[in-house]
Amino acid sequence: MAKNVLVLAESKQGKLRNVSLEALTVAQKVADGGEIAAALFGAGASGFVQEVSEYGASKVYVAEEDALAVYTTDAYTQALCQLIEEIQTDIILLGHTAIGKDVAPRVAARLGSGLVSDCTGVALEDGTLVFARPIYAGRAFQKKVFQQGRVMATLRANNFETQTMPVQAEVVYFQPVLKDLRTVVKEIVRKATSGVDLSEAKVIVSGGRGVKSKEGFHPLEELAAVLGGAVGASRGACDADYCDYALQIGQTGKVVTPDLYIACGISGAIQHLAGMSNSKIIVAINKDPEAPIFQVADYGIVGDLFEIVPLLTEEFKKVLS
Ligand code: FAD
């Protein structure tokens, strides 16, 4: 049965987030002929209309109020609730991003909807939408269905193919009534980060306490650069001040699903696995053959990372050139 779907399309540093394009592609599947709409909030949002229409959004709701220029929980919650109530959509999809994780539960609570968060699979089974999500740090998957009401879900990045479906988009300039906003963002001071965004990277080279120092991360950075990937870390490495906590992967860090995850000098504690065990291919480099990381690795290299990582970098340079 045809369903109307709304996707909250997010942008970051002037680019539409890939997970939003993944959500639009999922929308193409679950709409089953219904209307696909995208919501674009914030300054310059209208600049993304063309791109979302390439991925099937035939209606694009744009709200460019000053209060939505930078994400705040209050403003986004109010705007999204008002939009959903106005258009009475059946399904709402968001990325499982910092914004999606924050705003989706509030919107669901306000509207009395259910919410399935951090989905890694969406399937239509006999006309019923079934959402899969990892539990127990990725050791098992749970399948969830909605028994009634509106369907709302956040989708984990890098788990769904993106596919274009160009359509002609109707743009609706939507003006939410935003009141009693409790917080105002005065300024954002960005930490200097370079390279690929960790949460959406297709390749991650990650270092643990075995990297031993800040300088020890340099060979990992070189390998990541050659592979067009990002650098990640275990909490062990962050706690030891070898790198910034922004790189931490795991239960209390980022959850990632790259095509290739190279774990260097990481033992494989359950809390680390919670953030990366759903990566498509895992390569572990560790000098301890008994390290638990080898239990989840597709390829294991027993040895000293300071010898192996530069060798890999050289070989990849040759192969990729
Ligand atoms: P270690 O366990 O010390 O492992 C270092 C590894 O490096 C060893 O296996 C060693 O054999 C290997 N090694 C050493 N030298 C070399 C070398 N030259 N070449 C190759 N291998 C070498 N951890 C996370 O990562 N992310 C989280 O989000 C997270 N959340 C947590 C939440 C809670 C509530 C708690 C209690 C813990 C959490 N932890 C998290 C910490 C986690 O339990 C581990 O302590 C941490 O992951 C260990 O980091 P590590 O693997 O880098 O270090």
CATH of the domain at 109: 3.40.50.620
Query: Contact 245/238 with Cβ under 8 angstroms?
Result: yes
Residues 122 and 26 in one domain: yes
Residue found under tokens 């050139």: 321
pLDDT of residue 195: 67
**Residue linked to tokens 């399937």:** 123
Q: How many domains does the chain have?
A: 2
- From the number of C-beta atoms within 10 Å of its C-beta (0-12, 13-18, 19+), residue 192 rates as exposed
- Tens digits of pLDDT across the chain (321 residues): 889 999 999 998 889 999 999 999 999 999 988 999 999 999 899 999 999 999 999 999 999 999 999 999 999 999 999 999 999 999 999 999 999 999 999 999 999 999 999 999 999 888 899 999 998 877 889 999 999 999 999 999 989 999 999 999 999 999 999 999 999 888 888 776 666 788 889 999 999 999 999 999 999 999 999 999 999 999 999 999 999 999 999 999 999 999 999 999 999 999 999 999 989 999 999 999 999 999 999 999 999 999 999 999 999 999 998
C-alpha to C-alpha distances, 282 to 211, 301, 311, nearest whole angstrom: 18, 11, 18
Q: How far is the CA of 238 from the centre of ligand 1 (A)?
A: 10
Task: Say what the pLDDT of residue 136 is.
Answer: 84
Q: Give the CATH number of the domain where residue 302 resides.
A: 3.40.50.1220
Q: Assess if residue 183 is contained within a domain.
A: no
Residue 10 shares a structural domain with residue 156: yes
Pocket of ligand 1 (CB under 6 A): 208-210, 234-237, 248, 250-253, 265-267, 269, 271-272, 275, 285-288, 291, 304-306
Give the range of the structural domain holding residue 109, as residue numbers without chain letter.
Answer: 5-173
Angstrom distance (rounded) from CA 1 to CA 79: 28
Q: Classify residue 65: in a domain, yes or no.
A: yes
From the list 278, 254, 276, 279, the residue with the least C-alpha distance to 98 is: 254
Q: CA dist 30 to 49, 123, 131, 158, 267, Å?
A: 21, 8, 11, 18, 40
pTM: 0.85
Contact present, 90 and 102 (Cβ < 8 Å): no
Q: Which residue from 213, 217, 272 has its CB within 8 A of the most atoms of ligand 1, so it is best to mutate?
A: 272
pLDDT score recorded for residue 165: 97
| 29 and 166 part of one domain | yes
How far apart are the C-alpha atoms of 274 and 271, rounded to whole Å?
5
Strand intervals (E) in 210-312 = 230-233, 260-264, 281-286, 299-302
Q: Which atom of ligand 1 is nearest to the CA of 268?
A: 51
